[in-house]
Chains A and B, each alone.
Chain A
Amino acid sequence: AQSVTQPDIHITVSEGASLELRCNYSYGATPYLFWYVQSPGQGLQLLLKYFSGDTLVQGIKGFEAEFKRSQSSFNLRKPSVHWSDAAEYFCAVGTTSGTYKYIFGTGTRLKVLA
Chain B
Amino acid sequence: DAGITQSPRHKVTETGTPVTLRCHQTENHRYMYWYRQDPGHGLRLIHYSYGVKDTDKGEVSDGYSVSRSKTEDFLLTLESATSSQTSVYFCAISDRTGRDPEQYFGPGTRLTVT
Contact = CB atoms under 8 A, between A and B. Distances in A.
A100 B33 CA distance: 10
A100 B44 contact: no
A94 B101 CA distance: 8
A96 B107 CA distance: 26
A83 interface: no
SS of B interface (majority):
strand
A105 B103 contact: no
Interface stretch (A43-51, A60-68, A71-79): A43-51
B108 A43 contact: yes
B50 interface: yes
Contacts of A43: 90, 105-108
A102 B103 contact: yes
A107 B90 CA distance: 16
Q: What class of interface size applies to chain B in its complex with A?
A: 20 to 34
Interface in B38-66: 40-45, 48, 50, 56, 58
Q: What class of interface size applies to chain A in its complex with B?
A: 20 to 34
B102 interface: yes
Nearest to B45: A101
Contacts of A84: none
Interface in A71-104: 90, 92, 94, 96, 99-104
13 contacts: A32-B101, A43-B105, A43-B108, A44-B43, A44-B105, A51-B101, A92-B43, A94-B101, A101-B48, A104-B44, A106-B40, A106-B42, A107-B40
Interface of B: 31, 33, 35, 40-45, 48, 50, 56, 58, 90, 92, 94, 96, 101-103, 105-108
Given A44-B43, A90-B43, A102-B33, 12 more contacts: A9-B40, A32-B101, A46-B102, A49-B101, A92-B43, A94-B101, A94-B103, A99-B50, A102-B94, A104-B35, A104-B44, A106-B40
